[in-house]
Structure 1
Amino acid sequence: MIKRTNLDGNPNIGVYISVTETQALIPFHASTKIEEIIEEVLEVEVFRATIAGSSLNGILSVGNSNGIIVSPYILEREIESLEKAGFEVFVLPEKFTAVGNLILANDYGALISPLLSDESMELIEKALEVKVEQGTIAGFNIVGSVATATNKGVLLHPKAARKELEFVEETLKVPADVGTINHGTTMIGACSIANSNGAIVSENTTGPELARIEEALGFL
């Protein structure tokens, strides 16, 4: 299933919401309506949370079925809250805080930014229990911002090179394709959230874009 909506008027739903196959983190200010849409479309349990005192859950965390990686600036009480909700929490040992922008992952693999250290690569492998590779998408280091990945497929920035697309397929072990979202936006990860059950994309996403997203993410 795929549905178009904004987060209380904001098209950058992937900036504020982080999802896995079974769980989603949303801001405290998110409406009950968006919570219900997430539960219906993605078939997940929804938790309200902050990370490092911020509502930018999609930027400050990323995970799969095995664990969730969070900003190094997360507060101890926030870690405790996430663990109480059933998350296996791992703190990135880096100066970088926008972990959701720097990591693209599913349950089969992870593509991470070349900006991240060997120490971070080791932690990501341990946390997500997958093989990790470093690379770019369309020349961008912010691989989590310019793509969305599930256990069925990946949608990438439209200017991703053929070599990058093939590398993503090898790394995440699912088919990949390119496209846009929200009427021509190339920041795929910022304007969408998805798992194997469905996807939620920004409200202005066009019909042709929806068709491409459905095919790329394996919903057809």
Structure 2
Amino acid sequence: MTDKRLKISGNSLIGVFARCTEKVVLVPHEVAESDRLTMEAALKAEAVQMQLSGASVLGSLIAANSSGFVVSHHAGDKDLEILRQHGRAARLPARINAAGNVMLVNDSAALVHPGLSAKACETIEKTLGVPVEKGTIPWEWRAASPIRVFWFIRVLPRRR
């Protein structure tokens, strides 16, 4: 397979519009079929076209790992029904609710916005099946890979 540049809604920042796990890549309806098929082949994951409460910015509104999905509290029942075909799904019970923007998750841990409530953290732990730590990413690491961030929260001692 050769490399191919993709755009969603004319934007090359596809992480704003798509969310991927090992099994599924969530993409908005406006993604062309050829691009959807390219994503499926490259990621070896089923592409599911959807919107979340009518919005196309799925990457910003959904946090996910191989166990499930945590979504904006604006998500409708039909949105959750679609996601539950691929894992657990829950709405983030928080005023801060762009789940994909306020959480960095994988199958080992979650680093979440420090302003999230205990109830929100409990929902994340239950839905994604990982321990949750509140914190921020140091400025110089923000462009770094999530692997470094997870090394940071799993290896370095907790400061109190």
Q: Give the shorter-chain TM-score range.
A: 0.7 to 0.9
The two structures, once aligned, show a CA RMSD in angstroms of 2.5
Q: Which runs of 5+ in 1 are unaligned?
A: 155-164, 174-220
Who is 1:117 aligned against?
A: 117
Who is 1:67 aligned against?
A: 68
Q: 1:90 to 1:14 in 2, by over 3 A?
A: same
- Report the more deviating stretch, 45-54 or 72-81: 72-81
Q: 1:171 to 1:3 in 2, by over 3 A?
A: farther
Among 132, 153, 157, which residue is 1:171 paired with?
Answer: 153
Please say if residues 68 and 86 of structure 2, whose CA atoms lie closer than 8 Å, have aligned partners that are also in contact: no
Q: Which runs of 5+ in 2 are unaligned?
A: 156-160
Q: 1:40 to 1:105 in 2, by over 3 A?
A: same
Who is 2:108 aligned against?
A: 108
TM superposition shift of 1:11: 1.2
Which string of whole-angstrom CA distances, capped at 9 and with x for unpartnered residues, describes residues 150-175 of structure 1? xxx35xxxxxxxxxx5xx314367xx
How many Å separate the matches in 2 of 1:3 and 1:102? 30
Please say if residues 66 and 87 of structure 2, whose CA atoms lie closer than 8 Å, have aligned partners that are also in contact: no
1:91 has 2:74 as partner = no
Q: Please state whether the residue corresponding to 1:24 is helix, strand or coil.
A: strand
Q: Please state whether the residue corresponding to 2:29 is helix, strand or coil.
A: coil
Q: Write out the 4+ residue segments of structure 1 that deviate beyond 6 Å after TM superposition.
A: none
Who is 2:138 aligned against?
A: 138
Please say if residues 88 and 128 of structure 2, whose CA atoms lie closer than 8 Å, have aligned partners that are also in contact: no
TM superposition shift of 1:4: 5.1
1:124 alignment partner AA: I
Who is 2:55 aligned against?
A: 54
> Percent identity, aligned pairs only?
32
Greater relative contact order (Cα < 8 A, sep 6+)? 1
TM-score by length of 1: 0.63
Aligned residue-pair number: 154
